[in-house]
């Protein structure tokens, strides 16, 4: 029997309730596919600020480094919005990415068959199916560049610096090429090379790397055009690889093609098999504790964990299949339609867990 150790960061808002049901689903998968999980629960985000006065305690970092992977709920909320930037819950996210070397963010944007009618995109544009993988560089670029404020001509001014090195570009592009090899063989590198020098280096580096991947069809697209094409003709994309800030924006746009942001999982990967897995939605403090939050994105995140960190693709597929089947009969309020059973957080998680075991 395989054994895994996971550090669990339930986070804030709806984080604890969706993580609790996700653990139940993961345990069900363990029973079905003969593995066990040891959980170490730690604090990050607003709950860590309340308890330890910092968004990312050192003991949390230490626990994550000693684990096989990390499961994160969601962090943040209005309660902490007035704190200085380095003490806000979101600082914990940036800090843990840097501390754990999580440089590649994988965000699949797919439409489950049962949820196809919920997509805001017309059926004739979506076609038979839609499955896009957005790969975002996570530890470089403008979010980690030099920044500051100063006085210019007697007025306040501020700056943030976008910078990439060739090694940073190569390692994220490598993920993109290898992912394309495992999927449809097409990689679109997104930049702003007509304006930004960092994007010109990005494009030059990716073009040079393409020589080592003759089986991958490489294309390039400016970020503004990509944003338009995701809505106009999303099926043209297979794998997209891009910078931190562009990936942040485009992956959120792509996520809405699925019909609900509460359906989208993500993986943040380091070298090797280590990763942090989380839904891309926020903590939604307005519905926290009401038992109506959609747990499916977090459940799908552990499916990614099983696939990318634990090398258990059959268990991962079983969770994805169970989610799709569950939505054929029950829906949480955010994806509810007439004719379906309206289910809360706990019930939806229970349904998925039962379908895995059946």
| Catalytic status, residue 12 | no
152 beta partners: 155
> For residues 327 and 334, what is the distance between their CA atoms, to the nearest angstrom?
12
Instruction: Name every residue whose Cβ is closer than 8 Å to that of residue 241 and which is 6 or more positions away in sequence.
Output: 135, 137, 172, 173, 175, 176, 187, 188, 189, 190, 206
Q: In whole angstroms, how large is the CA radius of gyration of the chain?
A: 20
Cα–Cα distances (Å) from 23 to 7, 92, 170, 187, 298, in that order, read 12, 22, 35, 34, 10
Which residues lie across from 217 on neighbouring strands? 186
Question: Is 192 considered catalytic here?
Answer: yes
What is the spatial distance between Cα 154 and Cα 66, in angstroms, rounded to a whole number? 51
At which residue do the structure tokens 């209005």 appear? 78
Residue partners of 128: CB distance under 8 A and separation at least 6: none
Catalytic entry in 34, 160, 224, 286? 224
| Greatest alpha-carbon span in the chain | 70
Is 213 an active-site residue? Answer: no
Give yes or no for a contact between 154 and 223, defined as CB atoms under 8 angstroms apart. Answer: no
Alpha carbons 187 and 334: distance in angstroms, whole number? 32
Write down the number of H helices and E strands in the chain.
12, 14
248 is catalytic: yes
Host H or E run for residue 353: helix 345-357
Active-site residue, from 39, 40, 143, 174: 143
Give the end-to-end CA distance of the chain in Å, rounded to a whole number.
20
Query: Which residue among the candidates 248, 308, 334, 350 is catalytic per the annotation?
Result: 248
Catalytic residue among 20, 68, 131, 252: 252
SS3 136: strand
Active site residue 238: no
Catalytic residue selected from 10, 21, 192, 307 = 192
* Residue 293: Cβ-neighbour burial (10 angstroms; 0-12, 13-18, 19+): buried
Query: Which residues belong to the active site?
Result: 143, 192, 224, 248, 252
């Amino acid at each position: 029997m395989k054994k895994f150790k996971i550090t669990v960061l339930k986070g804030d808002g709806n984080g604890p309730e969706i993580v609790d049901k996700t653990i139940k689903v993961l345990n069900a998968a363990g029973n079905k596919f003969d593995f066990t999980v040891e959980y170490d629960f730690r604090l990050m985000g607003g709950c860590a600020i309340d308890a330890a006065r910092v968004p990312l305690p050192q003991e949390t970092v230490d626990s994550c480094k000693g684990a096989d992977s990390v499961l994160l709920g969601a962090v943040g909320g209005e309660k902490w919005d007035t704190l200085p930037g380095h003490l806000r819950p979101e600082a914990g996210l940036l800090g843990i990415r840097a501390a754990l070397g999580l440089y590649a963010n994988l965000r699949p944007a797919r439409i489950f068959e049962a949820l196809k009618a919920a997509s805001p995109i017309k059926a004739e544009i979506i076609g038979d199916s839609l499955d896009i993988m957005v790969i975002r560089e996570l530890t470089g670029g403008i979010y980690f560049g030099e920044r500051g404020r100063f006085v210019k001509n007697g007025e306040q001014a501020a700056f943030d610096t976008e910078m990439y090195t060739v090694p940073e570009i190569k390692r994220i592009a490598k993920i993109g090429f290898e992912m394309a090899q495992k999927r449809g063989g097409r990689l679109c590198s997104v930049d702003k090379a007509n304006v930004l020098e960092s994007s010109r280096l990005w494009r030059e580096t990716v073009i040079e790397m393409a020589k080592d991947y003759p089986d991958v069809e490489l294309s390039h697209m400016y970020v503004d055009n990509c944003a338009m094409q995701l809505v106009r003709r999303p099926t043209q994309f297979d794998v997209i690889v891009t910078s931190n800030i562009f990936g942040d924006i485009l992956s959120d746009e792509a996520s809405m093609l699925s019909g609900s942001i509460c359906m989208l999982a993500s993986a943040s990967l380091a070298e090797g098999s280590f990763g942090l897995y989380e839904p891309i939605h926020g903590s939604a403090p307005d519905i926290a504790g009401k038992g109506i939050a959609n747990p499916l994105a977090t459940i799908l995140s552990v499916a990614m964990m099983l696939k990318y960190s634990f090398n258990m693709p059959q268990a991962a597929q079983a969770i994805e299949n169970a989610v799709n089947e569950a939505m054929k009969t029950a829906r949480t309020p955010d994806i509810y339609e007439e004719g379906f059973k309206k289910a809360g957080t706990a019930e939806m998680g229970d349904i998925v867990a039962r379908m895995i075991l059946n």
